[in-house]
Amino acid sequence: MFRLSDFGEKYNKDSGIFLLMEDLDKALNQNPDLLMLGGGNPGFIPEMQEYFYKKFKEFLSNKEDFFQAIGIYDSPSGNILFRKELAEFFNQLYNWNINYENIALTHGSQNAFFILFNLFSGKTSHKLLKILFPILPEYIGYENVPLNTEAILSICGIKRQIDEYFFQYEIDKTNFQKSIEENNKEIGCIAISTPCNPTGKVFSIDELSFIKKYSEQYNIPVVIDCAYGNPFPGIVYKKQDFLFSENFIFTFSLSKTGLPGLRLGIVIAKPEIISLIGKIQAIQSLSPSRIAPYVFKNTFRTMEFYEQCKKHIKNFYLTKRNMIIIN
The reported pLDDT for the residue numbered 38 is 63
Q: Specify if 271 maps to a domain.
A: yes
The reported pLDDT for the residue numbered 28 is 65
Give the integer Cα–Cα distance in Å for 81 and 64. Answer: 16
Q: Which residues contact 75 (CB under 8 A, 6 or more apart)?
A: 278, 287
The whole-number average pLDDT for the span 249-262 is 96
Record the pTM.
0.92
Q: Are 75 and 278 in contact (CB under 8 A)?
A: yes
Q: Specify if 6 maps to a domain.
A: no
Q: pLDDT class for 164, splitting at 50, 70, 90? A: confident
CATH assignment of the domain containing 318 = 3.40.640.10
| Alpha-carbon distance values, 146 to 113, 133, 263, 304 (Å) | 9, 13, 21, 37
Parent domain of 294: 46-326
Least confident stretch, 33-47, 61-75, 116-130, 185-199: 33-47
Give the integer Cα–Cα distance in Å for 300 and 319. Answer: 27
Could you tell me the end-to-end alpha-carbon distance of the chain, in angstroms, rounded to an integer? 53
DSSP 186: G
Give the integer Cα–Cα distance in Å for 148 and 150. Answer: 5
Q: Specify if 80 maps to a domain.
A: yes
Q: Specify if 19 maps to a domain.
A: no
Q: Specify if 290 maps to a domain.
A: yes
Q: Are 142 and 113 in contact (CB under 8 A)?
A: yes
Least confident stretch, 32-46, 114-128, 130-144, 173-187: 32-46
Other CB atoms within 10 A of residue 271 CB = 15
| Average pLDDT over all residues of the chain | 92
Q: Specify if 51 maps to a domain.
A: yes
Task: Evaluate if residue 181 carries a pLDDT over 90.
Answer: yes
Q: pLDDT class for 27, splitting at 50, 70, 90? A: low
Q: Specify if 128 maps to a domain.
A: yes
Structurally, the chain folds into a number of domains equal to 1
Radius of gyration for the alpha carbons in the chain, expressed in angstroms and rounded: 20
3-state secondary structure of 293: helix
Q: Specify if 11 maps to a domain.
A: no
Q: Are 216 and 247 in contact (CB under 8 A)?
A: yes
